[in-house]
A = this chain, B = another copy of it.
Amino acid sequence: MKSKNILYAQSGGVTSVINASAYGLISKALKSEEINKIYAGIYGISGILEGNLLDIKEEPIEKIHALSYTPSSAFGSCRRRLKDDDNEGFNRLFQIFDEYNVGYFFYNGGNDSMDTAHKIDQYAIKIGYDLKVIGIPKTIDNDLYGTDHSPGYGSAAKYLAISMLESSIDTRSMSKDSTKIFIMETMGRHAGWLAASTSLAKLNADFGPHIILLPERIFDEDNFVNKVKYEVEKNGYCTIAVSEGIRYKSGSFVSDMGYTDSFGNRQLGDAGRVVANIILTRLGLKVHVAVPDYLQRSSGHIVSKTDREEAIKVGEVALDLALSGISGFMVTINRVSNEPYQVQYGKVPLFEVANNTKYMPEEFIADDGYGVNDKFIKYAKPLIFGESYPDYKDGIPDYVYFPLNEK
């Protein structure tokens, strides 16, 4: 029997530990006698459709190890989705699978990527191509259905909590005669998981955040201004986390409030800056605004050890599932105990992940809507536990890079 090959690819927004999952899968597959070649798809299905595949066994083995601590997407990612009626796309994809003798396809991504993986699994069944398709979860947004949490979230949460702590003690120290308000805008357009994670800054100190603006709550400007005033009077300063996804009662995003430049062009804003200007205009207080943007999802220099280990494990479990003949599922992490924190690994059908979103439970949100409560802390605290650091060279992380055949 001619043994089959593996194709692994990454898709969607990156995380600090997505490559740790690649490391888990690849390093285990290298030891398996059932696997012949291991290919990495470059730029997800976008590159695969162009025949852009990397033969992992041609790369030095040290590079595989370095994958375990390299953030972002080492093989390139994409936003491309395959539509149901894209027969040309599916035909081309399965030509590539056939050409490279691919028997196992692993797609490492979020909701949209699981939708694509599901469609590929269905198409294989339809045309009678023997393919095992397994989804590997990844997203800093923590909105994947069927899993207690998603690899990537713990590290982003740790980064944001530490950044909020450090900025809060900065603001506190300057508050006597300078800055009174610090605002940090977080990602998370539809669910408040990331904004909420800044509350973990309070585990070892009590300097903020005093307010968290969650997308789960309507942004009421008057009420918010009163809350800021109250916190400044109480603490002498106020630090605030703002989700990029907050909306007005009308349903429009606060970040879409919009403004025009000096030439009359309508420009994009951001929620943190809009909220800062509201405070500046109505309360006349000095405000600083931070927008970590990509920094929060690529922060390999400080990842959660728990998150990293789980990311490696879901890669290994994905291989086990595929080799046992299972197809059409995503690996899940199931919490079996909180103290001590213990998890087991399971699976959920890809189509369920593709058609659902995991929102933050209402019971996690504080009564006044400006933060989260102890139930959230209890849930999130184990996910940021432990520190994991990359190797350094000349003062800079010694991450690993693969050729992406860039233009």
One of B175, B292, B406 near A236 (C-beta < 8 A)? B406
Does A290 lie within 8 Å of B295, measured CB to CB? yes
Does A268 lie within 8 Å of B292, measured CB to CB? no
Does B261 lie within 8 Å of A268, measured CB to CB? no
Check: A4 CB closer than 8 A to any chain B CB: no
Which residue of B is nearest A386, CB measured?
A: B395
Give the residues in chain B near A292, CB-CB below 8 Å: 290, 292, 295
Which residue of B is nearest A15, CB measured?
A: B170
Check: A158 CB closer than 8 A to any chain B CB: yes
Does B166 lie within 8 Å of A301, measured CB to CB? yes
Q: B-facing mask of A350-370, CB < 8 A → 1, else 0?
A: 000000000000000000000
Check: A171 CB closer than 8 A to any chain B CB: yes
Q: B-facing mask of A287-312, CB < 8 A → 1, else 0?
A: 01111111101111110100000000
**Copies of this chain, count:** 2
Give the residues in chain B near A281, CB-CB below 8 Å: 265, 267
Q: How large is the interface on A (under 10, 10 to 19, 20 to 34, 35 or more residues)?
A: 35 or more
Give the residues in chain B near A298, CB-CB below 8 Å: 166-167, 169-170
Check: A89 CB closer than 8 A to any chain B CB: no
Check: A223 CB closer than 8 A to any chain B CB: no
Does A201 lie within 8 Å of B396, measured CB to CB? yes
Which residue of B is nearest A171, CB measured?
A: B294
For the complex, give the distance between the alpha carbons of A284 and B276 in Å.
27
Check: A2 CB closer than 8 A to any chain B CB: no
For the complex, give the distance between the alpha carbons of A398 and B236 in Å.
23
A238 to chain B, nearest CB (A): 12
Does A163 lie within 8 Å of B295, measured CB to CB? yes
- Interface stretch among A77-85, A131-139, A316-324? A77-85
Check: A87 CB closer than 8 A to any chain B CB: no
* Known contacts A79-B178, A170-B294, A294-B171; is-contact A396 B161 (Cβ 8 Å): yes
One of B167, B262, B396 near A165 (C-beta < 8 A)? B396
For the complex, give the distance between the alpha carbons of A290 and B13 in Å.
16
Does B295 lie within 8 Å of A204, measured CB to CB? no
* Known contacts A73-B173, A294-B182; is-contact A277 B261 (Cβ 8 Å): yes
Check: A280 CB closer than 8 A to any chain B CB: yes
One of B276, B290, B293 near A288 (C-beta < 8 A)? B293
Give the residues in chain B near A299, CB-CB below 8 Å: 166
Does A205 lie within 8 Å of B401, measured CB to CB? yes
Check: A235 CB closer than 8 A to any chain B CB: yes
Could you list 25 examples of A-B contacts with CB < 8 Å?
A: A14-B174, A70-B169, A72-B166, A73-B174, A76-B176, A79-B177, A79-B178, A158-B395, A162-B396, A163-B295, A165-B399, A166-B294, A166-B397, A207-B401, A236-B406, A236-B407, A258-B261, A259-B267, A260-B260, A267-B280, A267-B281, A288-B294, A290-B293, A302-B302, A387-B395
Q: Which 9 residue pairs spanning A and B have beta carbons closest together? A: A73-B173, A290-B293, A384-B395, A166-B298, A236-B407, A259-B259, A43-B176, A167-B294, A170-B298
